[in-house]
């Protein structure tokens, strides 16, 4: 009845702070005559670390989530916040006690436990998934880009179709991260340092870049892109966010292409 009141019918689902698990806990606590005391959670645990426990056998899902979560997901969280996961809430309740008021004695919150439906064990990656992990894919792509770029530099020409593919993907992925960063009201996505290198700017600079490549001239976009990527990779350990290492070979692909453009333009100017 309370939830059906007009002011309670709609709420914004929050996957970390106010979800279907935390709401169940809150309703149980409200129905008890006393205060619930939970055991301490895992010290130093973060939202990202807990999510990784459930996605580690699904590398592409893990990589996608890692790209979207920002620095806020790497801050240590309290034992209560760790209950955003059903398994964590179940374990906490199994060891929780209720401290009643007045002469009501301290008692266990959970008297007994019955398994209604057996849980599915989380095994290896699901059948039909892409055979390579994100890191393997990124390294294969890096090897191809290095070989291709070496041939282009040696013959003083640029296959700008390669750049269209790489920078277009970078720009489209940047649109998603930029939207989450600037417009999403969900937590942990508005503090994403990946926006520095994965943003929509390539979609704006790509036509200019291709035009300069075809004319064999230096492009200022390549200068700026190479500088930003170099600084990002160099200072990656200092960024207060746990960034997937898959990002490094992906960033190197973009860096190599910008450096190649500048090197070929200089080589042509000296001929």
Closest CA to 109 of 133, 129, 89: 89
Tell me the average pLDDT across 37-56. 95
Confidence of residue 236 (pLDDT cuts 50, 70, 90): very high
**CA–CA gap between residue 213 and residue 263 (Å, rounded):** 11
According to DSSP, residue 76 is labeled: B
194: its two tokens: 């990946």
Average pLDDT over residues 223-249: 96
Q: How far apart are CA 257 and CA 102, in angstroms?
A: 73
Phi/psi for 33 (5° steps) reads -95, 80
Predicted confidence (pLDDT) at residue 255 exceeds the cutoff of 80: yes
Provide the pLDDT for residue 130.
82
Sheet holding 97-99, edge to edge: 35-37, 97-99, 107-108
Check residue 200 and report its DSSP letter: S
Residue 125 has pLDDT above 70, yes or no: no
φ, ψ at 28 (rounded to 5°): -65, -45
Quote the pLDDT of residue 5: 92
Please name the residues in contact with 156: beta carbons below 8 A apart, sequence gap of 6 or more.
Answer: 264, 267, 268, 271
Residue 124 has pLDDT above 70, yes or no: no
Range 44-55 average pLDDT: 95
pLDDT of residue 11: 84
User: Quick one: pLDDT band at residue 126, thresholds 50, 70, 90?
Assistant: low
Length of the chain equals 271
- Alpha-carbon gap, residue 73 to 82, rounded angstroms: 12
Mean pLDDT calculated for residue range 173-189:
94
| Predicted pLDDT at 271 | 75
Distances (CA, A) of 43 to 11, 17, 80, 89, 261: 31, 18, 12, 16, 49
Say how far apart CA 151 and CA 146 lie, in whole Å.
Answer: 9
Residue 238 binned pLDDT confidence (cut-offs 50, 70, 90) = very high
Label residue 128 by pLDDT band (50, 70, 90). Answer: low
> In this model, does residue 246 exceed pLDDT 80?
yes
- pLDDT of 122 above 70: no
Report percent pLDDT > 90 for the chain: 78
Rounded mean pLDDT, 195-213: 93
Reported confidence tier of residue 123, pLDDT bands at 50, 70, 90: low
Contacts of 126 (CB under 8 A, 6+ apart): 58
């Amino acid at each position: 009845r309370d939830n059906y009141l007009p002011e309670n019918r709609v709420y914004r689902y929050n996957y970390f702070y106010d979800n279907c698990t935390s709401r169940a806990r809150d309703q149980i606590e409200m129905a008890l005559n006393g205060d619930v005391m939970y055991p301490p959670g895992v010290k130093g645990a973060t939202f990202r670390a807990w999510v990784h426990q459930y996605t580690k056998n699904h590398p592409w899902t893990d990589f996608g989530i890692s790209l979207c979560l920002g620095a806020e997901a790497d801050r240590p969280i309290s034992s209560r916040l760790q209950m955003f996961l059903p398994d964590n809430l179940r374990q906490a309740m199994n060891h929780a006690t209720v401290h009643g008021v007045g002469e009501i004695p301290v008692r266990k919150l959970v008297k007994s436990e019955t398994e209604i439906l057996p849980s599915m064990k989380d095994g290896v990656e699901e059948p039909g998934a892409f055979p390579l992990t994100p890191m393997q894919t990124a390294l294969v792509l890096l090897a191809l880009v290095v070989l291709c770029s070496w041939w282009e530099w040696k013959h003083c020409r640029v296959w700008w179709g390669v750049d269209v593919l790489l920078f277009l993907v970078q720009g489209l992925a940047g649109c998603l991260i930029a939207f989450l960063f600037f417009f999403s009201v969900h937590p942990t996505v508005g503090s994403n340092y990946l926006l520095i290198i994965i943003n929509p700017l390539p979609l704006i600079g790509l036509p200019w870049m291709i035009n300069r490549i075809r004319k064999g001239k230096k492009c200022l976009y390549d200068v700026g892109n190479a500088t930003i990527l170099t600084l990002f990779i160099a200072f990656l350990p200092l960024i207060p966010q746990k960034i997937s290492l898959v990002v490094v070979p992906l960033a190197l692909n973009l860096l190599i292409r910008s450096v190649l453009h500048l090197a070929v333009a200089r080589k042509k100017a000296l001929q």
